[in-house]
């Protein structure tokens, strides 16, 4: 019995030690963990970039990709997508997706074949689905590339309508907004993820761009509406913009909140069921259950060119883009609508991500 008790005591002690060890927090994953990433498009002569801002705003690092990897991303960085460990940086003019560790930004690979003006990617399991515009002189070569994220190879392409842009997944489907590339379009395409086939085209208002899944599981789509010009580039009219709510199970538009003629919303983000969108520099707040668009604005942003918007922890993050110098990230308190911080970021800053 003495031996058994001794062995049991050792077993309990070792169990306690292992349990305590497992409860210890993991160490830092990298220099760019727990912060804000801002992608900048760059220009025809200046490479695109990614900037890092720590969550307390005390640390700001520009061009972290080139700093870590001693190479440039190339001009026109369009967007960044993430899985649990990696970030996928899409440079549309380069037909390249650079793959990095999302916390260290060390390059681990690249997708360079099978893309043609890539725009946005969503990740489902071990597959990345990338929208591609194709050539500017061909309206019939647009597609979604299916990328194996283990091999970083395009396995398949899905032919879609003109100008695929944003892409999200829900209910075993992909939903793709079709803004129209260098032309115009008014569709959201639904792709069945089992067959990788287009199963439906949903008509919305002209120039659909941002789309998100809200807290109720509905797809929310922002359509800007078109400004129509005559042969001399004088404005001759407008088509209507709208925020559309689509049931992701039935792929049916259940509600559409239409803007006044001449109002062209340009940015939208969602926090649960709360929607924030912009018309010019005016920011509006809308609950998903509302029956009409708000009659008054939440605030007016201080921006020369409002080009990106996100929300987190009752703060509104806006990008005031500059294509000849530093852009600015402006952070507002949503309750008081006062500006908390203004931080310089990269050339042509357009997208905000929380890492």
CA 350 to chain centroid, in Å, comes to: 10
State residue 28's pLDDT score: 79
Question: Is 20 buried (19+), middle (13-18) or exposed (0-12) by CB count in 10 A?
Answer: exposed
pTM over 0.75: yes
Nearest to 97 by CA among 80, 85, 84: 80
Output DSSP code: residue 230. Answer: -
Nearest to 142 by CA among 112, 123, 167: 167
> What is the C-alpha separation between 75 and 130, in angstroms, rounded?
19
In which residue ranges of the chain is pLDDT below 70? 1-26
Q: What's the pLDDT tens digit per position in 315-355?
A: 999 999 999 999 999 999 999 999 999 999 999 999 999 99
State residue 131's pLDDT score: 98
Query: What does each C-alpha distance from 52 to 238, 329, 349 come to in angstroms?
Result: 39, 11, 12
Give the number of C-alpha atoms closer than 13 A to the C-alpha of residue 253, restricted to the C-beta side: 18
> What is the C-alpha separation between 130 and 244, in angstroms, rounded?
23
State residue 209's pLDDT score: 97
């Amino acid at each position: 019995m003495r031996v058994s008790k001794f062995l049991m005591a050792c077993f309990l002690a070792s169990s306690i030690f292992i349990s305590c060890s497992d409860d210890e927090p993991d160490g830092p994953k990298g220099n760019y963990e727990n912060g804000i990433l801002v992608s900048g498009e760059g220009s025809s002569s200046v490479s695109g970039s990614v900037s890092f801002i720590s969550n307390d705003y005390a640390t700001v690092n520009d061009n972290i990709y080139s700093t870590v990897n001693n190479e440039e991303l190339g001009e026109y960085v369009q967007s960044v997508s993430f899985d649990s460990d990696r970030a996928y940086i899409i440079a549309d003019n380069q037909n390249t997706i650079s793959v990095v560790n999302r916390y260290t930004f060390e390059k681990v690979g690249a997708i360079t074949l099978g893309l043609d003006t890539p725009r946005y990617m969503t990740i489902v399991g071990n597959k990345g689905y990338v929208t591609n515009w194709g050539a500017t002189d061909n309206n019939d070569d647009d597609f979604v590339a299916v990328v194996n994220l283990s091999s970083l190879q395009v396995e398949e392409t899905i032919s879609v309508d003109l100008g695929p842009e944003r892409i999200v997944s829900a209910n075993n489907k992909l939903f793709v907004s079709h803004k129209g590339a260098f032309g115009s379009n008014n569709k959201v395409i639904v792709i069945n993820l089992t067959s990788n086939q287009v199963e439906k085209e949903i008509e919305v208002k002209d120039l659909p761009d941002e789309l998100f899944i809200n807290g109720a599981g509905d797809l929310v789509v922002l359509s800007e509406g078109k400004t129509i010009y005559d042969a001399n580039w004088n404005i001759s009219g407008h088509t209507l913009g709208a925020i559309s709510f689509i049931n992701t199970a039935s792929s049916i538009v259940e509600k559409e909140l239409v803007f006044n003629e001449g109002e062209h919303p340009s940015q939208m983000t969602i926090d649960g069921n709360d929607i924030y969108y912009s018309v010019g520099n005016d920011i509006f707040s809308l609950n998903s259950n509302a029956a009409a668009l708000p009659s008054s604005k939440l605030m007016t942003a201080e921006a020369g060119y409002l080009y990106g918007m996100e929300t987190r922890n009752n703060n509104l993050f806006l990008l005031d883009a500059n294509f000849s110098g530093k852009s600015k990230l402006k952070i507002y308190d949503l309750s008081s609508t006062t500006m908390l911080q203004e931080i310089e970021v990269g050339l042509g800053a357009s997208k905000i991500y929380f890492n």
